Amino acid sequence: MDGLVENKTLKFELVNIHFHTPSEHSFDGKKRQIEGHFVHRLASSMGGDLTMLVIGVMFNSTTGRESSFLKSLKLKDLSVLLPPQPMT
């Protein structure tokens, strides 16, 4: 994963990944368990006033199942993103 987002005239480099639990935004009034923000900075000089690009990804964790998306980010400790599970 190189973190680049580009089209014919603009190229953005990934500079930060951070997460909100619960999500910072909602759809149809419902928040999700996790919202990831992938923050990019303009790498090319043709963007005018456009200098940042943020891609947001919202999802719910699935108890007992590993997220291939989160695993692909190769973060050190994914447990910090998940809400605490109730004790039984």
Mean pLDDT calculated for residue range 4-14: 80
pLDDT confidence of residue 53: 87
| pLDDT band at 86; cut points 50, 70, 90 | very low
pLDDT at 54 over 80: yes
Other beta carbons less than 10 A from residue 5's beta carbon: 15
For residue 85, the 8-state DSSP code is P
Cβ-count burial of 25 within 10 angstroms (0-12 exposed, 13-18 middle, 19+ buried)? exposed
pTM over 0.75: no
| pLDDT band at 72; cut points 50, 70, 90 | confident
Query: Which of 88, 4, 79 is CA-nearest to residue 34?
Result: 79
- Measured on CA atoms in the order 38, 42, 48, 49, is the torsion positive or negative? positive
